[in-house]
Chain A
């Protein structure tokens, strides 16, 4: 075997190794969901067992999965849509009409992501209570929108910056106003980037647990709250918990699987153009 072949083989093995390590917990979770509670805690863990749907039956019986799932869908897609609507104009102005303070504004926006959310829990909670937003889809949608806004603006900004200014100026010469410029030129040209930004925002919202646990109780609770509801009072029931978690991540996993091409294309958009 020549050296480049050896290198290739090693890299392949390494990649597989990393993929397995990342994937294993999920695999184990899915597996555990099909065990009985007894098998789930057995040592040594059993890899071969008779699969059972008992965990799933119990989970479905105890909670209204569909209601949680619907909340998750509404809130994560809703917040993403809102974030895009707010972020597209801001990213546009920062990319094409920059001032001396644009750079600073961008960094400041990102710095808000470094703030531990628990630090603002109290004020947000009180505000929401007074405004009647506790345990409402709208409330959580707004929080998620604000949570993802810095990242969404940043990503759109980098995608927009890659568009040659000449093209937009040609559009202006052709008679396009700002709105037409955005609708007919900028959005179509950056669609892969916008799509992957939106997908990322959906995934981040879907998986968010801190705010959903603290700001919702039942009506607007998304799937993360659904999982959490199986971890409490009587102690941990691993099989049930795993079944619930599997149910919670299944939609986003499928969604991610279907859109992964788009994701990769969007995230490498600038690099390969």
Chain B
């Protein structure tokens, strides 16, 4: 059992607030990912949870117990650092067993626990090496092994994979997901990487400037972003935005004016009236090339990835990114027309808040465990 609650926690570095009142509830065995632009306070938040950084105000509780005043080693957490932070003068075995040595665990028992962790991570042949004789991926595994040996109730990872090359990153990502299942531990994970966040998280926490913008499952953030920031931050390439004028709003949705005709977006139009200006948001993968579409653009750049093609379009002073299939034959400077399914579109008010969709996306509430269960046994 390991739950974590943050109640309105604040971090103040000599007058500048870096964390501005964060509330968060992490359930037992949940995999929570912190994302956000550089400098938004992800590491600071994690270090506060770890106890490496004091908390200016607010409360941190683990399993319902306030831990603000508890030292980092006594919170039952383990942290994996971006830089690995292995002890360079110790062998892999000593690195992994250091916490046990400090806790005065007898040598034989220590070795047993280290071996058990090494087995999980396939580190057995490396136990006698020093960190400098390891590759980046191996070092990362040792750092994770060091955390596992402590048998923590909560694992903290601060961008653990960002120093690895792309192929290794994919491999470690899968390994971490497997570990999460095998260890049955609560995990909190900081990353810059969209794919890591979307694939590993049960719950994503989007941060900006020390404030939580939205908390939700990956599919919820993707389909129901709470505001324009989250909409732009989740998803790659970024969501397209266009200023539009409201024609009218009723229970069925909001009518907005597009260059090639009106369009009805099925969102709640409370408080919106004709003549207002809203921002239409539509993801590149939801734009479809269509000879009769209401939107046009001239191709500036084409990126062919094989399976899909990204088109960078320009129309007047608005720019669009459109992800089409891999076989589009268009060339740069071609003029194309395109459209979209209004159900996939989002509308944002002037202060950035999204108008709620009238129907919830069917996958928005799916969690990773359901993902794994086959749909047949699921009964749906």
Residues of A that sit less than 8 Å from B by CB = 164, 166-167, 169-176, 180, 184-185, 188-189
B-chain residues with CB within 8 Å of residue A169 when the two chains form the complex = 52, 72, 79, 81, 85
B-chain residues with CB within 8 Å of residue A172 when the two chains form the complex = 52, 71-73
- From 323 to 354 in chain B, residues with beta carbon under 8 angstroms from any chain A beta carbon are none
Bound form: Cα–Cα A176–B73 in Å: 8
Contact B73 A175 (CB under 8 A): yes
Nearest-neighbour CB distance to chain B for A128, whole angstroms, equals: 43
A-chain residues with CB within 8 Å of residue B54 when the two chains form the complex = none
Bound form: Cα–Cα A147–B380 in Å: 82
Contact A173 B72 (CB under 8 A): yes
Bound form: Cα–Cα A219–B56 in Å: 60
Nearest-neighbour CB distance to chain A for B152, whole angstroms, equals: 9
Contact A188 B89 (CB under 8 A): yes
Contact A175 B88 (CB under 8 A): no
Contact B52 A185 (CB under 8 A): no
Bound form: Cα–Cα A174–B80 in Å: 11
Is the C-beta of B150 less than 8 angstroms from some C-beta in chain A?
A: yes
Contact A171 B87 (CB under 8 A): yes
Give the secondary structure class of A's interface: helix
The one of B52, B73, B83, B88 in contact with A174, judged by C-beta atoms closer than 8 angstroms, is B73
Bound form: Cα–Cα A180–B98 in Å: 11
Q: Which residue of B lies closest to A172 (CB)?
A: B72
Interface residues on B, range: 20 to 34
Nearest-neighbour CB distance to chain B for A175, whole angstroms, equals: 4
Nearest-neighbour CB distance to chain B for A29, whole angstroms, equals: 42
Nearest-neighbour CB distance to chain A for B43, whole angstroms, equals: 11
The one of B77, B85, B103 in contact with A170, judged by C-beta atoms closer than 8 angstroms, is B85
Contact B52 A173 (CB under 8 A): yes
A-chain residues with CB within 8 Å of residue B88 when the two chains form the complex = 167, 189
Bound form: Cα–Cα A166–B78 in Å: 13
With contacts A185-B87, A188-B89 taken as known, whether A173 is within 8 angstroms of B50 at the C-beta atoms is: yes
Q: Which residue of A lies closest to B50 (CB)?
A: A173
Bound form: Cα–Cα A106–B206 in Å: 43
Bound form: Cα–Cα A166–B102 in Å: 18
Q: Which residue of B lies closest to A273 (CB)?
A: B88
Is the C-beta of B146 less than 8 angstroms from some C-beta in chain A?
A: yes
Nearest-neighbour CB distance to chain B for A166, whole angstroms, equals: 4
* 27 interchain pairs, CB-CB under 8 A: A164-B85, A166-B83, A166-B85, A167-B85, A167-B88, A169-B52, A169-B72, A169-B81, A170-B81, A170-B86, A170-B87, A172-B52, A172-B71, A172-B73, A173-B50, A173-B77, A173-B79, A173-B99, A174-B73, A174-B98, A174-B99, A175-B103, A176-B98, A180-B102, A188-B89, A189-B87, A189-B88
